[in-house]
Amino acid sequence: MSLGPSGQGVPPYPLPPRDLSPFGRPALHRWEIPLLVVVVLLTGFIYTFAIVAVLLGSVSTFVLLFLLAPVLLYLARGQTFAAQRVNGVRMSPTQFPEGFRMVAEAAARFGMPSPPDAYVVLGNGRINAFASGHGFRRFVVVYSDLFEIGGQARDPDALAFVIGHEVGHIAAGHASYWRQLGMFATPFLPFVGSSLSRAQEYTADNHGFCARPHGAGGAIATLAAGKYLNAVVGLDEFADRAWRERGFFVWLVNGLASHPVLTWRANALRDRSRHGKLLWPPKPPDSYAAMPGTDVRYQAPVVPSPDQPGPR
């Protein structure tokens, strides 16, 4: 199934999907671990600097922030979890059963011993979802406006992709307290910290694609145009702009963003032969050349149904 209307004269996508690691799990972005090592080392250096500054009698707000980071992070995670528990609607077999099933299926697909808690909270028009944790608990939060795309008249595959994306953050270890503590300096590391964040988002997209590949297009369309206009978004045309929209400020907007810009993200979900770009704009696949008078178009890999053989 294509992520959007495919053009004419271009053969189906010939390469196997870049979804699974050699261990049968969704693949990490190739730059995630190297960038994580760099960020953890820089964070450790800043922690050391803060301790030395205190010993020398030089105390500032920045120094105190890092000295208190373990406590501040613990309190923030606990408060966030408590807010969902007392304000959100917890998914269960009787409340939002479709979403509850999607969470359980994604967790099983990623080899997790048990599914995380999942909550629906009031969105007030915002399209968002996130994953976090506290202690040994992990949870997913879906804003109500995003959850509406899972209704009968919406796109349940898109919701399943988003839930798979968020559960993927947990499966990949992104919600770990120790990992987040090691990344505490991320906001103070322009480009390096944001590049790690974008690599993690690409990794989570790989999880979402493995959980529900046919929902990738609908999810991107919803993030780009909203829950009412997502059906009229042409994903191929949207993703093609990743190759065409160039320039310094395009590079800057992406470079400072915590998430890949949507056109690059759409292109990465469509082209499963390579990892999503972090800093430099993507290029069309070398194996494809546009026919005279047409744009480059290619199809996403055909994903077998449960009754057909093939990697799942």
Per the rule left: phi > 0, alpha: psi between -120 and 50, beta: everything else, 82 is alpha
Helix or strand (DSSP H, E) at 137:
strand 137-143
pLDDT in tens, 135-168: 999 999 999 988 776 554 378 899 999 999 999 9
Q: Are strands 117-121 and 89-90 parallel, antiparallel or unpaired?
A: antiparallel
Kindly report the CA angle at 190 between 187 and 191, in degrees rounded to 5? 120
Count CB neighbours of 250 within 10 A: 15
DSSP state letter for 149: G
Residue ranges of the domains in the chain? Answer: 32-270
pLDDT in tens, 97-131: 999 999 999 999 999 999 999 999 998 888 999 99
Instruction: Please state the pTM of the whole predicted model.
Output: 0.85
140 forms beta bridges with 118, 131
pLDDT in tens, 164-213: 999 999 999 999 999 999 999 999 999 999 999 999 999 999 999 999 99
Whole-number Å distance between alpha carbons of 91 and 1: 30
